[in-house]
Structure 1
Amino acid sequence: MNRFAERYGTVVLIAIAAGILIYAGAFAPVGLKLIDEVIYNAAAVSFADRGALIVENGWDRFGADALRINFLVPGPHGLASQYPPGAAVLGAPLQRLFGLQGLILLNALAAMATLFVTRAVARSAFGREDVALSAVLLLVLASFWVEYAFGIWPHSLGTLMVLIAFWAGLRGLAADPAAALRWAVLAGSVAGAGLLIRADTVLIVPALAAAAILFAPRPWSMIGAGLAGLAPFVALASWVNHYKFDRWNPLTYGLDKPGGVELSGHVPVILLVAGAFLCLAVARGLRWQPGRGPWILLAGAAAALALLVPPVRALVIAYGQGFFGLVVDAKPLPNFEPTEWNGVVYFWELPKKALGQNMPWIGCLLGAVFLPLTARERRVLILCALAAFVWTLPFILRSWHGNYGANMRYFLPLLPLLAVVGAWLWHRLADMTGAGGLVLGLGAIYAGGLAALWSVLHASGFDGAQQIMSTHVLTASAGIALAAGWGARRVPRLAIGTQFMFAIGVGLALLFAVQDIRYDRTNRQGTAIAAATFAGLPPRSVYYGRPELFPSFFARPDSHLAMPYAYRRDAAFLSEALDQGYRVYVEPEHLQQMLTLIPGSMPGPYQVSGYYLFHELLPPPRPAPDSPPPATDE
């Protein structure tokens, strides 16, 4: 395959990129999926129309909390999106030209670039064109990455920034000292720019710094150069948040509650990372290179600490539970929906999948643990492991799965790295066994048959295949891969078995990705049709309910969106809007409360599109003016 990849690899990537652009421009449904995308769209419209970071939405007129629609935060200048402004700034020109579809095109363009950067990472990591092309194909065909290439929230754009920073860090570790500093500045700058798009982009920085301590000839110079590249963007993010929220924290969402990106919610993570850096720095300073014995002693000491010190024990338990839920099996994750009789757990009506359930082939990556590695391969795998550990740590410790969605979108930036390692492992095993395409084809066919049989014979159907069967495949893949890594030289069939399980995992990942895209497309088509139907509501309208149906309202200064906040306070706001002559529309599930809390109000005509329905809320009838006394002849 290496010769094919050398001759036609670029052609294949261009064809895939062209397909992404054509689909985004001509076929992707232009609808909002959930509230997060409403906010991103609101910020982009505000910046496109007025060059402003402030979203109006009637706040200056009414000041009602319902107008915050969950994720707009009041600040010194008005309501602002809780999210960083980078996506709005970059998306504003496309928003002005193409409307809501412009934000989809922004993510599609980022996805197209991600294809080429993924190939560049694989080339730099392993120096093989077949691995580079296979990594791109794994990313496209055997992960849930493609779904976010056609979204409105900027996960695809954030993934590109993380991947470029990783690539620059990887190049810096292999470069001469002068070039290494330039690569480090680039890595820091891109990570900093990513901070203005998605706050979690900054999580790649500790991983790159740890890799510099471990592998760079001049680690502190390289770390300093990276921080020099990062610093201007951190300063800019701080200024932006001060303008929006009156806070200098570059990571804040402007909220008072702990968690999310508020540093107070991640003290254990910060302490853990700081302690790890201290240990690495001391070991590097002492030039200590422990053998197997000291590592065993260190592992034993860490285990004893975890057992004997309650805070450490609680941290280890939280990590174990979170890792299992986010990586292995999503069913135990916190959720308000009960387990169905057939064993499937639905999250907002979707059979949510952990990372390994979505991509069972990642279980085979454990086979790399015992394979003989070159120094270059070892460095790359350690860097990828550091990136994966640091990135997932805050999410795992909080078991935070991201609510609505069929997969673990917060892990999206790791998918290109997993694809690179997976492609390398596949070709490494193929070199050992001499088996390649045939095993891949047979495994993919077996995966299709396995999913079909489960869907027909098991009560849980295809949802269970995604959430139950996939867990068994993941576990089997990990077990066989570990055995193969340990004994492949003595029992070559173990290596072929790992390839076969890898191929099954790839086939299942493709089926699951298609289903995830189908879920996403169905949702967006419904909201897009409803938005087109409801765009004709009259001027001076207020809608109280689901804001995904009204993307056009943010371009209409006289119309406003509201979401339930507190019924009594919301009723006072809607009553004031009615008094000022606004037309008010309410979702059915909130209508009765408003009729009760606004005396004399009445339900008016309803609007319907597909399965979306809402009523007009009519104001109390005004008393007729006093009539003059009738005229008399006297």
Structure 2
Amino acid sequence: MTKARARAWRVASSAATDARVAARSLETAAFPLAVVLATLATLASVAALDATRHARALAFVTGALWAGAAASHAVCFAMALAGVGYLLVRRGRAGAPATLGLGLGLAPSALLNHYRFGTWSPLSYGPIPWAHTNPELHKMTLGAQVGYALPLAAVLGLTVLGAWALRGRGPVQLALIGVAVAAVVLLPPLRDRALRYTMVTLGLLVDLDAVDMGDRYLRAADGAGTLFGRHVVKSVVQGTPLLALAPLALRGEGAERERDGALLVPPAALIATLITRGNLAYVDAIGWPWVSIRYALPMLPALCVASLVVVQRLRPGRRHVLGGSVLAVILLGWWWPMHGDDDWLKRAVLLRVGLVAAAALVVVAWRVQGRERGEAGMAFSRWL
């Protein structure tokens, strides 16, 4: 692990394992504990990929930590499967102990649920106590989610397979894709599903403005954002525009790309899991939205590290660091006296300028990375 990568991990891990968060985790809250364990599991996975000694022990620890994260909150289960699966694919038998760690780690939760709810599922929350109040709750099962997704998934899957089978025959491929797009647009069952999944994806990652978040969340009178109390609600990228750089970490090569995959595969699994909830109403039975950055929390530390890896590869110069510091001081001086997000201009900066900045960062980083592949050693400052 490089020194820069180690520093990035220390920053993200210290944020995720802040003493106050850890103390609260040990008290009652499941989410902070899930974030801590998911972060540590990802760190252990990267260490297992790097290790020349004790790789099997680190793989076991990875699985056990992922089990703890999934037992803390079920939203981490897909991340756990993806993280352990990635280690198995990359390391084969050396990664096999991760499966054992995951299984043993979930066993106590499965046993507890067997006695509490009569099920061996380690993820069960038991019978829904208010199922009669909201029929939507009956859709909150894996079977219902798969059943809802199946028609659209079948069309997309057949289109991909057909395009692959017809590779080298461009016009026929385009015709096939055109037919698939027309079917999705014209057939209401497919169109409704596509719109729901698109809305969930955009709401979670890009902008929540178009998502119904329930009565507790009020649309700002001037139309700029949705407020919870006096605070504007933000998506993942609106909350931290730098995270838009995270996927570009996969443009690394060799061992670096392998490690970056360990950072990004579990978050991708979490995002996919949340998207499949598109069959549900946006607001749960007790009035809280599930299309919310709350459910993205377990993946944020890993995305922070992946984004910092990209920044490290760009090698920003002193003037870029100075410019960013000056901007931070200006925003801090502007927003510090404010209590909440009542100011329209502040909300515009948070919700709109932040997205523009994120898009600009991605474009710049993509171009710099592309040039670096053709011109070794080119620095960010030289490109600008």
TM-score normalized by the length of structure 2: 0.70
1:467 aligns with 2:351: yes
One-letter identity of the residue aligned with 2:238: Q
The aligned length equals 341
What pairs with 1:50-449 in structure 2 (closer than 5 Å)? 127-137=1-11, 148=21, 151=24, 153-175=29-51, 179-212=54-87, 214-218=89-93, 222-223=95-96, 225-254=97-126, 255=128, 257-258=137-138, 262-267=141-146, 308=183, 316-336=194-214, 337-347=218-228, 349-368=230-249, 371=251, 373-398=252-277, 403=288, 408-430=293-315, 435-436=317-318, 438-449=319-330
In structure 1, what is the Cα distance between the partners aligned to 2:68 and 2:314? 38
Contact 1:353–1:467 (Cα < 8 Å) also in 2:
yes
Cα RMSD for the two superposed structures: 4.5
Q: How big is each residue's C-alpha offset from its partner over 1:118-153, in whole Å with a ceiling of 9 and x where there is no partner?
A: xxxxxxxxx222332244336768x99898567552
5+ residue gaps in structure 1?
A: 1-126, 276-289, 501-634
Aligned residue in 2 for 1:479: 363
Aligned equivalents of 1:140, 1:464: Cα separation in 2:
31
| Counterpart Cα distance in 1 of 2:364 and 2:198 | 22
Which AA in structure 1 matches 2:47? R
Query: Structure 2: how far apart are the matches of 1:401 and 1:136?
Result: 36
Against the structure 1 CA distance between its residues 131 and 479, is the aligned structure 2 distance closer, same or farther, given a 3 Å change threshold? Answer: same
- 2-side partners of 1:405 and 1:315: how far apart? 18
Indicate how the Cα distance of structure 1 residues 386 and 347 shifts in structure 2: closer, same or farther if over 3 A, else same: same
Distance across 2 between alignment mates of 1:401 and 1:357: 21
Among the aligned pairs, what percent are the same residue?
18
- Residue 350 to residue 322, structure 1, CA distance change in 2 (3 Å): same
CA distance in 2, matches of 1:160, 1:395: 20
Does the Cα contact within 8 Å between 2:204 and 2:292 map onto a contact in 1?
no
| Distance in 1 between residues matched to 2:233 and 2:208, nearest whole Å | 7
Contact 1:451 1:462 in 2 (8 A): no
Per-residue deviation, residues 558-601 of structure 1 (Å, max 9, x unmatched): xxxxxxxxxxxxxxxxxxxxxxxxxxxxxxxxxxxxxxxxxxxx
Q: Deviations over 1:163-207 (max 9, x none)?
A: 23223333334456x944433332222222333322223222221
The answer to whether the 8 A contact 2:63-2:84 is kept is: no
User: 1:511 is matched with which residue?
Assistant: none
Q: Within 1, Cα distance between the matches of 2:89 and 2:177?
A: 20
2:380 corresponds in structure 1 to 495
Superposition TM-score, scaled by structure 1 size: 0.45
1:249 aligned counterpart, secondary structure: coil
**Deviation string, structure 1 residues 444-502 (Cα, Å, up to 9, x no partner):** 3124436767999x96143333233322222222232223333356799993499x9xx
2:308 counterpart letter in structure 1? A
Once residues 77 and 291 of structure 2 are traced to their aligned partners in structure 1, the CA distance between those partners, rounded to angstroms, is 25
| Matched letter for residue 198 of structure 1 | H
Structure 2, unmatched stretches of 5+, are 132-136, 155-163
Structure 1 counterpart of 2:356, which letter? H
Distance in 1 (CA, whole Å) between partners of 2:179 and 2:352 is 34
Measured after TM superposition, the shift of residue 241 of structure 1 is 2.0
Q: Is the 8 A contact 1:318 1:397 kept in 2?
A: no
Give the C-alpha shift of residue 341 in structure 1.
1.3
Q: Is the 8 A contact 2:249 2:257 kept in 1?
A: no
- C-alpha distance 306-384 of structure 1, shift in aligned 2 (>3 A): farther
CA gap 1:365/1:229 in 2 versus in 1, 3 angstroms? closer
Instruction: Give the CA deviation at 1:346.
Output: 1.3
Q: Deviations over 1:55-91 (max 9, x none)?
A: xxxxxxxxxxxxxxxxxxxxxxxxxxxxxxxxxxxxx
- TM-fit CA distance, 1:348: 5.0
- Offset, 1:390: 0.1
Instruction: Tell me the alpha carbon deviations over residues 4-42 of structure 1, each in whole angstroms, 9 at most, x when there is no partner.
Output: xxxxxxxxxxxxxxxxxxxxxxxxxxxxxxxxxxxxxxx
Larger mean Cα displacement after TM superposition, 421-430 or 144-153: 144-153
- Following TM superposition, by how much is the alpha carbon of 1:360 offset from its aligned partner in structure 2, in angstroms? 0.8
Q: Give 1:238 deviation, angstroms.
A: 2.4
Mapped contact 1:355–1:408 kept (Cα < 8 A): yes
